[in-house]
A and B are shown apart, each in its own frame.
Chain A
Amino acid sequence: MNVRVPIHRLAIYDDVVPESGAGQSPPDGAPLVTFGKYAGPATLILSSLADGAKHGYALTKDIEQFASVRLAPGTLYEALSRLESQGFIEALPSTDRRRPYQLTAAGAEALRTHLADQRRVADVGLRRLSRSWGPA
């Protein structure tokens, strides 16, 4: 069954998102948009874990570096526990009191889909800006 991408609620997609193909939900777990206000932190965490396992503080520093966003501890762990319960990440055995997390295959697919959706939003916005307001 073909499923529209979760962000189909935005009218902006009606003319750019195909009914089938690229915009399919990940096979495992819920799409990231169902994370509500934690969709942002979840995207940042998955993006950070895309190049290897990290523990809490390493995640905080990495995200701060590449996104200029510092996730507060409570927010970080709420998103981590949601991602873990959805099977998007998994905890590795801790060597000390810190526990590293790594991306799962389902998490990689969910991140890929979500980032592709975001890219389409960015492309539409930039194209329309360019048309109406001129190139940057």
Chain B
Amino acid sequence: MTGPSLATGAEHQAARLLRWYPASWRARYGEEFAELLLADLAEQPRNWRRSADVAAHGLLARIAVTGLTARAQPPAVQTATLGCALAAFGTLGVAMLAQLATGWQWVSPGSPSVAGATVLMTLAAGCIAITGLAAVVPVLGLILLAARRRNGRVVRPAGLAMACGVALVAGARQFQNSWPGTGGTGADHSLVPGGVAAFGWSSTLSVSSFWVHPALLVRFPVTELAWMAGSPVIGIALIIAAAAAVRRLALAGGVVRYLSRLACAACLAAGAFLAGATIWVVGQGSGDAGLFRPGLVDGAELLVMALALAVAVRLTASLSREPAT
């Protein structure tokens, strides 16, 4: 094989094009595909259509390895992506519900539609949390089993996910009572206990429209700004590491069936949550001022949550069709 110093321009170009594809694809087809590219480059040195074609199919292959396309992927891969979709939905849902629950600690919503929407969202969030906990149990068991077998490929990302989780909880608890309007009100007449609402609020502080109001943002303490900027990084690292660990697990047919049923229940609850959130956002708080008035960021959250739910539903359906082997 030609060494890097002897590599021609065409070889560099072929290597560059090959990088559009995921590592697993490159491991299987990389060498022969590079040969085809070299032959094609020799015949047509400049061809933007070829570059666009390779880039598009490389990205498709990257999406395919997450289980989001019609191409069959192992159940563990689909489960990991399903978990990511529901985690994204959950994060934005917590940000939304924390706002309403915190507001309700100060004053009850003035309109029945907002009150009803908040009740629906709270019940749905509870269902999602229960299904999430029920799903974590067998997955944790498999990770512990992998740890006993000294399977570093599973244990390393699982350890990172756990560290990120601890950092997220510790940080959120640190900040939950220092934000104006959360915690310590003593008026605990909301649907959600004050401490839980404040924790939800502080753990999702980064989901905020303050980012587009820098003049207001600079008035916050530096530590809180650091938390707003750092917490999403920790959260994303947690989700990616957990997904990497799950992707590397050997899920038995029974576990896949169990997880797909839980995912089905979670999707139904998420649908109910989305319905409540839509009532609230579309109704613009139905006359409620201040605490219950949705902002542009809530509309954007709604769209992303709908997209995440669509992905979750598609993967749940795909997982449910997995043969019982």
Contact = CB atoms under 8 A, between A and B. Distances in A.
A73 B32 contact: no
Interface in A61-93: 72-78, 81-82, 85
Interface stretch (A17-25, A52-60, A118-126, A127-135): A52-60
Given A57-B39, A57-B40, A60-B40, A73 B71 contact: no
Interface of A: 55-57, 60, 72-78, 81-82, 85, 94, 96-99
Contact of B32 (A74, A82, A85, A99): A99
Contacts, number: 58
B31 A73 contact: no
Given A55-B36, A57-B35, 5 more contacts: A56-B35, A57-B36, A72-B49, A78-B57, A99-B31
A110 B29 CA distance: 24
What are the 6 tightest A-B residue pairs by CB atom distance, in nearest-first order?
A74-B57, A72-B53, A56-B36, A74-B53, A57-B39, A99-B32
A78 B32 contact: no
B72 interface: yes
A73 B37 contact: yes
A74 B34 contact: no
B189 interface: no
Secondary structure dominating the interface of A = helix
B58 interface: yes
B33 interface: yes
B49 A73 contact: no
Secondary structure dominating the interface of B = helix
Contact of B29 (A72, A77, A82, A85): A77
Interface of B: 29, 31-37, 39-40, 49-50, 53-58, 60-61, 71-72
A56 B33 contact: yes
Nearest to B25: A81
Given A55-B32, A97-B31, A75 B39 contact: no
A92 to B, nearest CB: 11
Nearest to B61: A78
Given A57-B40, A85-B71, A97 B35 contact: yes
A75 B53 contact: yes
